[in-house]
Amino acid sequence: MKNKVLKSENGIIEFSKLSHWKMSFVGMILILFGFSQVADATDFVVDKAASKVNWEAKKVTGKHDGSISFENGSVVVTANKISGGTFVINMKSMVDEDIKDADMNKKLMGHLSSDDFFSIEKFPESKMVIKTVTPVSGTEFHFVADLTIKGVTNPVEFNANVTLTGDKLEAKGVITVNRTLFGIKYGSGSFFQGLGDKVIYDDFTLAFNVVAQKK
């Protein structure tokens, strides 16, 4: 099959060669653009000592609250905005802070660690991976992430205020988690009838203040 030709003032240019040149040029631009995008990404490492996660769970007759710590974490920043991140929570670090009686506190934590709730011996870590980040207003952003608890992964959505000052990044927000989506159904009125004032609400919250330093 003969090559199609184009005429110019300087002579004849083979169409196939022109197309090849165009494709090569476009390919080079795409490679350079992709390289610049990757080069612009910067990792920030979570400062475990400065970061905090406070949990709160409610029931008909009251509530419990406490804290839990990061095992590790990193945040990816592109063009001065969060573009990704992974956070690992040490489930064995979970403590209750509202029960002052030592024996009662130990009893509650033993129950939360059991298979009725978080099965901490089997699943000592929980994990969250940021999937998308969308600006809302000012320093507020909307996050969609994959949350893994007890080996089960579900999407979560939440808003957070993010500030980036020099080599320091800080993000504050609250995540609402439906525990039943992760197989934690103990005391849930959605699955069990006749619980009365023994009902434990399905949702619990994680209020976080993440501090990360540029790597």
Domain boundaries along the sequence of the chain: 5-39, 41-214
Once rounded to an integer, what is the mean pLDDT over residues 35-56?
A: 85
- Give CA–CA dist 202/57, Å, rounded: 9
As a CATH number, domain 41-214 is 2.40.128.110
pTM of the predicted protein model: 0.81
CA dihedral in degrees (74, 77, 81, 86; nearest 10)?
A: -30
Task: Give the pLDDT confidence of 127-166 residue by residue, as tens digits.
Answer: 999 999 999 999 999 999 999 999 999 999 999 999 999 9
